[in-house]
Chains A and B, each alone.
Chain A
């Protein structure tokens, strides 16, 4: 048995350390450590309720809008606010823009550069991977990062800026779109579609959205699937086989799939186990706690470890491709990455429809009918999975604020029963070549979850 401690882990959002016990050339046991604590739940405590709209997005600069939407939904629920149709469409456009941009950033900048590493020099696809995805100067980055930047013009238009906007309010959005701006939105989306179809997919978005098997050959998606077949990524990083989604837009319904069976989402069955977290209580740290090894808590759904993210979203939504992949492999590196790219295509197609449906001149924001009071949950899907804010308001101030982020689910430590978190389970069995201090397969497994550690350790 040898022990490997891996870090700093780059091309993930935030800080991550992974400890591996290796035996017979494979990972026998993994421990995932989130080594940073900021205390947002303490920071939010006692503030005026609406201040959550300023503070919560700043938990995370990559899921900023998702955090805003969760806060706005929780505040809407405690104040009775209801957004008019334009407000819902604009908020959906802003959220989908973040999710789609995140999917692209993850694939191009965080995940694929590992296949351009020298350790793969002998593989038949290496030259192409190197040309397209070498960190810093790969062709895909040179072409798609500008496309991402111009896609984010949608944020400038609808949300003022990204990250950290105040445009998303409980009753809708603060920016009313006029008829010229509606055309500009369509133009932004058309330009983004063009870049994705030419570079990433080598084909129409609609064809990717309707993919029925992992057999796409065009563009970077085709390259990824060739690499996946060659390296057996369909067998690498198998997760817990249980999936959670808060539901996204009117496209992907909420729910969970556990033991192969679909069930409705019941947010009341979410618990947070602190046994291996450096936390004395839900919001008080204890850096000296015995047996603890992460600032991350261990959320459980009805006691179960679940995986969340694009694959989970599509499994819960009953998507035939996602179900087929999971039936074949149980949910692996290939499945997570492929479903992210399929979802990206679906999102952009849906966004075009939402932008067309905007009605300039009609309201975008409605005031709340009463001051905030009581308890509510704001649930949303960030790019990387289920995000929830649990809010209690008393006398207009935040009496408690609990945040469970996607990577908190995926990268959770063990619970009191000793059951490892989703990534910890996915890492078990990963091959580690003798003497390799920085095994690349581990990198693939970790990054396949698109982790956001900033959210995790709010």
Chain B
């Protein structure tokens, strides 16, 4: 158990989807993708051989600071209920709440990484009336508190997303292993700026429809998903359309709205996920750094200039009007 950059992984109140996503990292799998950077898993609940008492030995050594943990990865929200007892998630075989284990190991870890929006901000378990009193690791009343800093001096690194792109996780851990992930490389919500400085909208395959405000009306239409179908990609942090998901995809390429899953509170949008709330016919939630009046004016102008091809294709699930060609000379 020596050499390299050791990662200990805990699954808190989540769905395991972050691990499932990471298992497809770089088309080679998490273990190999991390191994390229000298990163090894001290223990992972889905991947390690050690079970029961052997696993507890590792976790106990980490909680007591006897086992060096270069990065503690936590997947899932911290379930603090009922009544602050943490009994909604007991670590099997220990009788102790997972929340206590996380806090104890985090106290010695050189870096703490929240994998996914549950661990970062509470996420879906926090939705509605938050039946399990779910919180994130650090954000807004999170388990470790606003002042928490890992041994490295970094706050909790929030690899947000539901589930995050495996590349976000691998690249973040790799940068930690190389010692170059500094605080200025995180945004105000602890997300690595490597992906959070982009918007999910950037590189969207529906870009031409967006430009002309040629909007989809029904699921499977090719048009822009923003005006009617609830797409939040123009506001959502993520390089989602600048890289591929599972080799070929992205949410918008898959034909459905971005739900801004990298943002705190995405689970409670205040309107149906797949409908765009509007005031006087104008979508609420326009791009945040553009004057609204300009957006409305440009939208009206571009709508009036929409080519018939774009308008027709926006309301079809396949290309019904191909681009015009210059006549041959």
Identify B90's interface contact among A35, A146, A155, A167, CB under 8 A.
A35
25 A-B pairs with CB atoms under 8 Å apart are A7-B93, A7-B94, A8-B91, A11-B45, A15-B11, A17-B92, A35-B89, A35-B90, A38-B131, A39-B132, A59-B15, A61-B14, A61-B18, A62-B15, A109-B46, A146-B32, A156-B244, A160-B252, A161-B249, A161-B251, A162-B20, A166-B257, A176-B220, A178-B318, A437-B53
**Which listed residue, A9, A47, A156, A173, touches B220 by the CB 8 Å rule?**
A173
Contact between chains at A136 and B255 (CB < 8 Å): no
Binds A, one of B120-128, B149-157, B280-288, B294-302: B120-128
A34-48, CB < 8 A from B: 35-39, 42-48
> Whole-angstrom distance between the alpha carbons of A110 and B49 in the complex?
9
CB distance from A246 to the nearest CB of B (A): 21
A116→B49 contact, CB < 8 A? yes
Given contacts A60-B17, A61-B19, A164-B163, contact A149 B29 (CB under 8 A): yes
Task: Say how far A25's CB is from chain B's closest CB, in angstroms.
Answer: 19
- Contact yes or no, A156 B273, CB < 8 A: no
Closest to A146 in B: B28
Cα of A149 to Cα of B85 in the assembled complex, Å: 39
Beta-carbon nearest neighbor of B89 in chain A: A36
Q: How far is the CB of A52 from chain B (nearest CB, A)?
A: 10
B208 within 8 A of partner (CB):
no
Q: Which of A5, A37, A109, A452 has the most CB of B within 10 A?
A: A37
**Residues of chain B at the chain A interface (Cβ within 8 Å):** 11, 13-21, 23-29, 31-32, 41, 43-56, 59, 79, 82, 85, 87-94, 98, 123-125, 127-129, 131-132, 134, 162-163, 218-220, 222, 244-257, 259, 261, 267, 272-274, 317-319
Question: In the complex, how many angstroms separate the beta carbon of B169 from the nearest chain A beta carbon?
Answer: 14
Please encode chain A, from 157 to 187, with 1 for each CB lying within 8 Å of some chain B CB and 0 for all others: 1111111111101011111101000001000
> Are B49 and A134 in contact, with the CB atoms below 8 A?
yes
A146 touching B27 by the CB < 8 A rule?
A: yes
Mask of A51-65 contacts with B, CB within 8 angstroms, 1/0: 101110011111010
Q: How far is the CB of B224 from the nearest CB of chain A, in Å?
A: 14
Contact in complex: A156, B51 (CB < 8 Å)? no
- Decide if A443 is an interface residue (CB 8 Å cutoff): yes
**Of residues B26, B129, B220, B319, which shows the largest number of chain A Cβ atoms within 10 Å of its Cβ?**
B220
**Digit string of A372-407 for contact with B (CB within 8 Å is 1, else 0)?**
000000000000000000000000000000000000
* A14 contacts partner chain B, Cβ-Cβ < 8 Å: yes
Give the residues in chain B near A142, CB-CB below 8 Å: 32
Q: A163-B21, A167-B255 are in contact. Are A287 and B93 (CB under 8 A)?
A: no
Shortest Cβ distance from residue B92 to the other chain A in the assembled complex, whole angstroms: 3
CA distance in complex: A367, B32 (Å):
44
- Residues of B near A361 (CB, < 8 A) are 318
| Nearest opposing residue in chain A for B52, CB measure | A438
Q: How far is the CB of A61 from chain B (nearest CB, A)?
A: 2
Question: Which residues of chain B have C-beta atoms less than 8 A from A54's C-beta?
Answer: 259, 273-274
Give the contacts of A224-265 with B (CB-CB under 8 A).
none
